[in-house]
Structure 1
Amino acid sequence: MTDASSRQPLIEIAGVSKHYGEGETRVDALRDVNLTVHRGEVVALLGPSGSGKTTLLNIIGCIIDPTEGRVTLDGERVYDDRWLRRDLRKLRLDKIGFIFQFHNLLPFLNATDNVALVLRLAGRTAAEAQARAVELLDYLEIGHRKDAMPALLSGGEAQRVAIARALANSPRIILADEPTAALDSKRAGIVMDLMRKLAAEQDACIVAVTHDEKIYDRFDQLFHLRDGVLDH
């Protein structure tokens, strides 16, 4: 497991709360959450439905606004009671990779082109994007399926392509929402082992929302959310 104490934090969440509505209709989705995740760490957010896991993941991903608190990503303070960056889309593209339960690959593009598309959006040339996409697919041991269309990929293969897509711009922060829920035990273990490998080798961190008890032993830390409160 990772020795987090010797590594620089990539995610620092301080005093983050999120509520919806006011007065009697107010709902506290998160309450004074503090969370630090270091380079090389793979951590899980656990808790029942409605506990605030996805809300916290979306705040780290700069998708929804906190009501209050501070968010620092890769050493940069990005939220301090307001967004400190104007272009959140570029922030996400530069710093964050997303992996979901359902791979969401574009059905009309092959595996390589699904990965290359992210690089093209970031301004890479077609040749650069293709080369990087093939490199990532090879790294994730699925290069032999680089020309396959999504409909012809197994669930585990499709999830590896989705991971390659998340890694396309070399993000330091990878956020995963139920990344193994659609996989059987063997494929789930393979995907988690790959994610641990990439966190270590890419000097990145991974935060995963999961209910998948069969992969709990693959995490460095387990954080529990209940009624918007985070416990270690």
Structure 2
Amino acid sequence: MRAPLVELVGVAKGFGEGEARVQALSDITLSAMPGEVVGLRGPSGSGKSTLLNLVACILEPDAGLLRLAGETVWQGRWAPGDLRALRREKIGFIFQFHNLLPFLDAIDNVALALTLNGVPLAEARRRARDLLDYLQVGKRASAMPAKLSGGEAQRVAIARALANHPRIILADEPTAALDSERAQVVMDLLRRVAREQSATVLVVTHDEKIFSRFDRLIGLRDGRIETETRPSTAEDV
């Protein structure tokens, strides 16, 4: 049987001290499998972004267990190792706004993620070109971010997130700045990546127009999992 790539058991997280303490997450237990695209929805303050940042190993849990790609990374304390290296090697990030560096063209925005991980520039640019072609934006490899459409820029950002072959892809409102058509294209690309690369994709979203593109949609409220549905009606892409 396949093992989950993301697994949280009884995870909790709060902020502040004493009477000012706010419990952001309580007793979160969930797992996500290779090839699965999971959405996290809920009102502002429900804990969606906190949950994403815990999986990203940016925030430290207060309690519970966090396991990524079969390795326990937090259980009472962080496991020994370099968290920055773990994030570079196992996790890819996609944000609401593409956050491309404005002074680098598309190919070098992607290649930079590889060179920061020690890959020689020539090899990094070859990998970047392959990724841009894979995401059907290779013809825009030499374009500067200001010359890319919103959908093109988001594809470049996805290529950057995939640069180091992560098995876990975390996306924070990746379609919020896109119209309906481009949002559907981006979600179809994420579904394709999940299946072809056996990756897990976790997406924080308020965007109801993409709810049908998820394998599972988890609803949070007041720091707890309230609902879990399987809304996907899309064919595999």
Q: Which runs of 4+ in 1 moved over 6 A?
A: none
> CA offsets, 1:24-74, max 9 Å, x none?
222100001001000000000000001100000000000011111110000
1:99 maps to 2:94 = yes
Q: Does 1:38 align with 2:18?
A: no
Aligned with 1:225: secondary structure? Answer: strand
Counterpart of 1:20 in structure 2: which amino acid? F
In the alignment, does 2:52 pair up with 1:49? no
Instruction: Report the 3-state secondary structure (helix = DSSP H, G, I; strand = E; otherwise coil) of the residue aligned with 2:5.
Output: strand
Taking the aligned partners of 2:80 and 2:188, their CA distance within structure 1 comes to 34
The aligned runs of 1:1-232 (5 Å cut-off) are 7-231=2-226, 232=228
Instruction: Give the drift of 1:81.
Output: 1.2
Q: Give the letter aligned to residue 100 of structure 2.
A: L
Report the Cα distance in structure 2 between the residues aligned to 1:122 and 1:21, rounded to whole angstroms: 35
Q: Quick one: distance in 1 between partners of 2:185 and 2:16?
A: 42
Q: Aligned residues, how many? A: 227
SS in 1 for 2:92: strand
Q: State how far apart, in whole Å, the 1-side matches of 2:184 and 2:105 are.
A: 25
Determine helix, strand or coil for the equivalent of 1:217: helix
Deviations, residues 143-184 of structure 1 (Å, cap 9, x unaligned): 000000000000000000000000000000000000000000
Residues of 2 paired with 1:65 and 1:128: CA distance? Answer: 35
Counterpart in the other structure of 1:3? none
Distance of 1:74 and 1:230 partners within structure 2: 22
Q: CA RMSD in A?
A: 0.8
Q: Separation in 2 of the partners of 1:126 and 1:69? A: 41
In 1: Cα distance, 2:80 partner to 2:94 partner: 23
Percent identity over the alignment is 64
2:231 maps to none
User: 5+ unaligned residues in a row in structure 1: which ranges?
Assistant: 1-5
| Unmatched segments (≥5 aa) in structure 2 | 229-237
